[in-house]
Amino acid sequence: MSVAAPPLLAVEGLTKRFGGFTAVQGVSFTVAEGEILGLLGPNGSGKSTTFNCIAGMLRPTAGSVRFAGREIGGLPADEVCRRGIGRTFQIPRPFRHLTLLENALLAAHYGAGGAITQAEAEARARDALRLAQLPDDAHATVAGLGAAGLKKLELARALATRPRLLLADESLGGLDAAEMRAAAEMLKRIRDERGITIVWVEHIMGVLLSVVDRVVVLDHGAVIFEGTPQAAQEDPKVAEVYLGPPEARAA
Give the residue, chosen from 34, 44, 135, 229, that forms a contact with ligand ATP under the rule CB under 6 A.
44
Between residues 45 and 161, which has the closer beta carbon with respect to ligand ATP? 45
CB of 56 to ligand ATP, least distance (A): 15
Beta carbons within 8 Å of 217's beta carbon, 6+ residues apart: 40, 41, 223, 224, 225, 226, 232, 235, 237, 238, 241
Beta carbons within 8 Å of 235's beta carbon, 6+ residues apart: 217, 225, 227
* 60 is an interface residue for ligand ATP by CB under 6 A: no
Beta carbons within 8 Å of 51's beta carbon, 6+ residues apart: 39, 57, 87, 167, 169, 199, 201
Nearest Cα residue to 91 out of 163, 154, 49, 164: 154
Determine the Cα–Cα distance for residues 104 and 109; give it in Å rounded to an integer: 9
The residue range among 17-25, 26-34, 146-154, 233-241 that interacts with ligand ATP, by the rule CB under 6 A, is: 17-25
* 103 is an interface residue for Mg ion by CB under 5 A: no
* 48 is an interface residue for Mg ion by CB under 5 A: yes
Binding-residue pattern over the window 202 to 231 for ligand ATP, x denoting contact by CB under 6 A: -x----------------------------
* 45 is an interface residue for ligand ATP by CB under 6 A: yes
Please report, as a single letter, which amino acid is at residue 92: P
Between residues 21 and 69, which has the closer beta carbon with respect to ligand ATP? 21
Determine the Cα–Cα distance for residues 31 and 154; give it in Å rounded to an integer: 22
Between residues 8 and 201, which has the closer beta carbon with respect to ligand ATP? 201
CB count within 10 Å of CB 79 equals 12
Antiparallel, parallel or unpaired: β 9-18 and 62-67: antiparallel
CB of 37 to Mg ion, least distance (A): 16
Window 67 to 126, contacts with ligand ATP (CB under 6 A): 90
Find the helix or strand (DSSP H, E) in which 240 lies: helix 236-243
DSSP 8-state class, residue 152 = H
CB of 22 to Mg ion, least distance (A): 16
Residue 135 binds: one of Mg ion, ligand ATP, none (C-beta under 5 to 8 A by kind): none
The residue range among 39-47, 97-105, 149-157, 241-249 that interacts with ligand ATP, by the rule CB under 6 A, is: 39-47
Q: Which residue ranges make up the site for ligand ATP (CB under 6 A)?
A: 18, 21, 23, 41, 43-49, 90, 203
